[in-house]
Amino acid sequence: MSIIGLDIGYSNLKLAYSDKSGNLVTAIRPAGAAPADRFGSRFDGRAQDDFLHVLVGDDPYIAGVSSDRAEMWERSLHADYANTPSYQALFHAGLLMAGTTDVKMLVTGLPVHQYKDEKLRAALEAKFIGEHRITPKRTVNVEKVKVVAQPVGGLFDMINQEDEENPQIDEDARILVIDPGFFSIDWVLIANGQLQLRSSGT
């Protein structure tokens, strides 16, 4: 069992998890994903060593590559990105890179305006919970999913790196986190340890 943090963005796929020794492992890959038949082969006949081969349903996809490497395939740049096959392929690529078959908790994010919609959060949680056939020979089970507002991840990272004896942030602090992404800019305001949704947005 493991805990995985997975950020499926428009430009990058970011992953954080603990290995068997308890050490933090992080990875970042380009967020390109398309059906496998949209990618050419190397002129020298050798295999592409940077491709992540996954399944979306029964269809083979390649994920974690620059989006301009797919032929005749438009990348998804719209608010319904989380419901596209490319997003699903990147989700499966993240699970593949984590190298486990049992995920106790998966933490992921949504843009703030989508995070505010409880139905969208619930839909993403439902999509990620359960068994996922990510390759012909590998199935991964995800037990629980936690969806956060995307900029909160940066704040968690800063808090995690702080000196416990001399913290820069206390419980009474007002914190504004701004997350400039490829498709949108998100921001969250934290006051007294609570997310202020009315003052946060996309």
In the chain, the domains with their CATH numbers are 2-38+48-148 (3.30.420.40)
Residue-level pLDDT at 43: 64
Measured between alpha carbons, how far is 197 from 105 in angstroms, rounded to an integer? 24
The gap from C-alpha 151 to its chain's centroid, in whole angstroms, comes to 13
- Report residue 87 as tokens: 């997003």
User: Which pTM was predicted?
Assistant: 0.90
pLDDT value of position 1: 60
**d(C-alpha 26, C-alpha 5), whole Å:** 9
The whole-number pLDDT of residue 119 equals: 96
**Tens-digit pLDDT profile for residues 136-192:** 999 999 999 999 999 998 888 888 777 777 777 777 889 999 999 888 899 999 998
Count of CB atoms within 10 A of residue 121's CB? 18
